[in-house]
């Protein structure tokens, strides 16, 4: 499948932004550190599941200094209901200690420094830069990857190429808003197995209507 022509891309962007004007980060947090932890925990896990385990975790360890003091076994127990909890607990422990050692417990606002942290990849760094620091970013998660390539904003087989394609297709000042709009649309309408095309605001434009 090819990508939508320019006019089609502009229509899709306009319609999705109109449909989800209040779309934003669904994770619950009260600081940049808590956002970072939540995004690390959200890998291959729903935001809902993350939001269920983080209140107790953040009550015990609200910042990097407190998290760095927790035994890894305790972190593991507090997040054991989510996927890959052992690996994530190890990453949170190491990540927190590194933040304390290098940044006095603060989360850096630079992409290159973020991706040096354990458990932080391109998607996590982009979410943190976007939500916490107000940078325009497109973080390609499962929903964004699937939708972008399904509806015709991209035609790529991997995450990085999809991100680059979206950066070309979408005006920079709308990167963050479209990231959230695509996620909401993927959750509410364009699901992986049974997209509800009859309810879709972009059904007349989407390249793969009904596929």
Q: What is the pLDDT of residues 121-169, one digit of tens each?
A: 999 999 999 999 999 999 998 889 999 999 999 999 999 999 999 999 9
CATH of domain 6-23+138-199: 1.10.1670.10
**pLDDT tens digits along 74-124:** 999 999 999 999 999 999 999 999 999 999 999 999 999 999 999 999 999
Which pTM value belongs to this model? 0.91
Backbone φ, ψ for residue 41 (5° rounding)? -70, -25
Active site residues: 123, 141
Token readout for 198 is 């009859």
Instruction: Confirm if 2 and 25 have CB atoms less than 8 A apart.
Output: no
What are the residue ranges spanned by the domains of the chain? 6-23+138-199, 32-133
Instruction: Confirm if 17 and 170 have CB atoms less than 8 A apart.
Output: no
DSSP designation for 105? T
Place of tokens 């394609």: 165
Q: Taking 90 as the threshold, does the pLDDT of residue 57 lie above it?
A: yes
Q: What is the pLDDT of residue 209?
A: 62
Q: CA 207, CA 211: separation in Å to the nearest integer?
A: 9
pLDDT band of residue 208 (cuts 50, 70, 90) is: confident
Q: What is the pLDDT of residue 210?
A: 47
CATH architecture of 32-133: Orthogonal Bundle (1.10)
């Amino acid at each position: 499948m090819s990508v939508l022509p320019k006019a089609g891309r502009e229509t899709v962007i306009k319609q999705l932004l109109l449909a989800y004007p209040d779309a934003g980060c669904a994770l619950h947090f009260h600081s940049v550190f808590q956002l970072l932890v939540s995004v690390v925990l959200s890998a291959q896990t729903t935001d809902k599941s993350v939001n269920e385990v983080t209140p107790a975790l953040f009550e015990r360890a609200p910042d990097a200094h407190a998290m760095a003091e927790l035994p890894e076994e305790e972190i593991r127990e507090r997040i054991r209901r989510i996927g890959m909890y052992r690996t994530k607990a190890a990453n949170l422990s190491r990540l927190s200690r590194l933040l304390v050692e290098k940044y006095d417990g603060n989360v850096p606002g630079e992409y290159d420094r973020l991706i040096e942290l354990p458990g932080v990849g391109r998607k996590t760094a982009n979410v943190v830069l976007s939500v916490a620091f107000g940078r325009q970013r497109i973080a390609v998660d499962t929903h964004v990857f699937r939708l972008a390539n399904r509806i015709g904003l991209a035609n790529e087989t991997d995450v990085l190429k999809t991100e680059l394609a979206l950066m070309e297709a979408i005006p920079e000042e709308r990167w963050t808003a479209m990231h959230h709009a695509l996620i909401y649309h993927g959750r509410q309408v364009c699901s992986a197995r049974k997209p509800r095309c009859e309810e879709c605001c972009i059904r007349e434009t989407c390249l793969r209507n009904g596929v």
